[in-house]
Amino acid sequence: MRWIERAWAALACCALAGLPAAAQQAPPAPAVPQARFAVVLDAAHGGDDAGGRLTNGQLEKNYTLALSVRLRSLLTARGIQVVTTRESDATIGPNRRAEIANHARAQACLSLHGSGSGSGVHLFASTLTPVQPTRFSPWKTAQAGWVTRSLALAGVLNSALLHAGMNVTLGRSSLPAVDSMTCPAVAVEVAPELGSDGKVAAGLDDNDYQAQVAEALAAALVEWRAEASQP
């Protein structure tokens, strides 16, 4: 029976030799999954902390939550994972907000605020002096290792908001929650949009204005994701 075994072996070798080179190679390794990209949305105030009183008596805590919900929907539709610090009218302290952001290992955090004064959107990065990030960072100055990236994130947000035709003001501020975060983080404070005559052209209770702000912020975070994916 050995001649039969030798015959089958010869036929197998001939068949293999006739296949294209690609078919004779080992199967390709499975594709490496893309790095996770997550954004934290921190709706400021809430619960016992009402924040400021905005247009037409609106409470800041309600405005920031509504903006967070709207922005979360836009980002989720674009395939971005979103973590929120609150989903309801709950009291959340600055330490807990930072804990949520740090646990999420997010690539960006937006701390959302509202203001009844000023014009357009104000973007604030931490006032901490930049340092090299370390594995274990002091709690209240952890953001120091991320300030450079936070300023870059503010630049991307600024470009998107200006492209949408809004007034933008850039600044630095001491922010208890942001200063303890270990990720690029920017405080976004939305004020009424003023016309050339100095009068309110769009208040914070204007649904179209809120949608315009949210769309611009979403576009900026999509751009930030694209930049983060580049080698």
Question: Distance (Å, rounded) from C-alpha 139 to C-alpha 44?
Answer: 20
Instruction: Inform me whether the pLDDT recorded for 197 exceeds 70.
Output: yes
- C-beta neighbour count of 50 within 10 angstroms: 13
Residues facing residue 114 across a β-bridge: 190
Three-state DSSP state, 65: helix
The residues near 26 (Cβ < 8 Å, ≥ 6 apart) are: none
CA distances from 176 to 58, 122, 146, 202 (A): 24, 17, 15, 30
- Grade residue 231 by pLDDT with cuts at 50, 70 and 90: low
Whether the model clears a pTM of 0.95, i.e. scores above it, the answer is no
How many residues are there in the chain? Answer: 231
- C-beta neighbour count of 22 within 10 angstroms: 7
Per residue in 32-69, pLDDT (tens digit) is 344 679 999 999 999 999 999 998 889 999 999 999 99
Per residue in 166-187, pLDDT (tens digit) is 999 999 999 999 999 999 999 9
Average pLDDT over residues 82-104: 96
Catalogue all structural domains in the chain, each as residue range(s) with its CATH number: 38-228 (3.40.630.40)
Q: For the residues of 204-218, what is the DSSP string, one character each?
A: TT-HHHHHHHHHHHH
Average pLDDT over residues 105-131: 95
- % of the chain at pLDDT higher than 70: 84
